[in-house]
Amino acid sequence: MRQLRRRSARRIATIPVCLLLLACAARATQQQPHDTTAMNARGAQVMGFDQTKTAHHFTLAKTGGVIQVQANDPSDAASRDHIRMHFENISKAFAQGDFTDPHEVHAETPPGVPEMKALKAKITYQYESTPTGAKLTITTQDPKALKAIHAYLRYQIREHKTGDPLDPQ
């Protein structure tokens, strides 16, 4: 009986420690807001254009979505040309399942990326120049790929603080 009480007392004593560990683990996995200044600096390095001179937009669609970046100043040919070059590169990289650039910009793997890599054969990326930059249209007919694309675009909307709608348009 005494031995049973000791075991019970030890188990009860470990409960607060377990609760503390669970609380710490939960807090560590919560998405913390990122330093926008650091993200913009990494973005300029990775994308090749000044993030403060451009506007990012992310649109969710019923078949995928659109990523669009434009120069804020229509006469800023340098930003426009760098945006276009970056979008040509990422359209090819994403099609091959290479999401290195978003990982480097955000210093983490964005949600949806592992699934988009695994389902790359079911996703189409279409690059298009715009008057002040470029856009990338992402399409799929696969429900799992669509869910991943939407997760990725919602993450981008939050990270870049674009204010774009979080639901398909």
Q: What is the pLDDT along the chain (169 residues), one digit of tens a residue?
A: 556 555 555 555 555 544 444 444 444 444 445 678 887 788 777 787 788 999 999 999 999 999 999 999 999 999 999 999 999 999 999 999 999 988 887 789 999 999 999 999 999 999 999 999 999 999 999 999 999 999 999 999 999 999 999 999 8
pLDDT score of 6: 56
pLDDT at 74: 96
Examine residue 166 and state whether it is found in any structural domain, yes or no. Answer: no
- Residue 19: which residues within 8 A CB-CB, separation 6 or more? none
Identify the pLDDT of residue 86: 95
Q: 49 and 127, same structural domain?
A: yes
User: Based on the domain organization, do 22 and 84 belong to the same domain?
Assistant: no
> In angstroms, rounded to a whole number, what is the distance separating the alpha carbons of residues 63 and 146?
7
Considering its fold, how many domains does the chain have in total?
A: 2
Question: Are residues 101 and 145 located together in one domain of the fold?
Answer: yes
Same domain (yes/no): 13, 40:
no
> What per-residue confidence (pLDDT) applies to 163?
96
Residue numbers of the domain that contains 146: 36-160
Do 11 and 77 meet the contact criterion of CB atoms below 8 Å apart? no
Relative to beta strand 64-71, strand 133-140 is: antiparallel
Q: Across the chain, where does the E strand assignment appear?
A: 54-61, 64-71, 123-130, 133-140
Say yes or no: 137 and 86 in one domain. yes
Q: Which two tokens stand for residue 69?
A: 């970046």
* pLDDT at site 155: 95
Same domain, 56 and 26: no
**pTM exceeds 0.85:** no
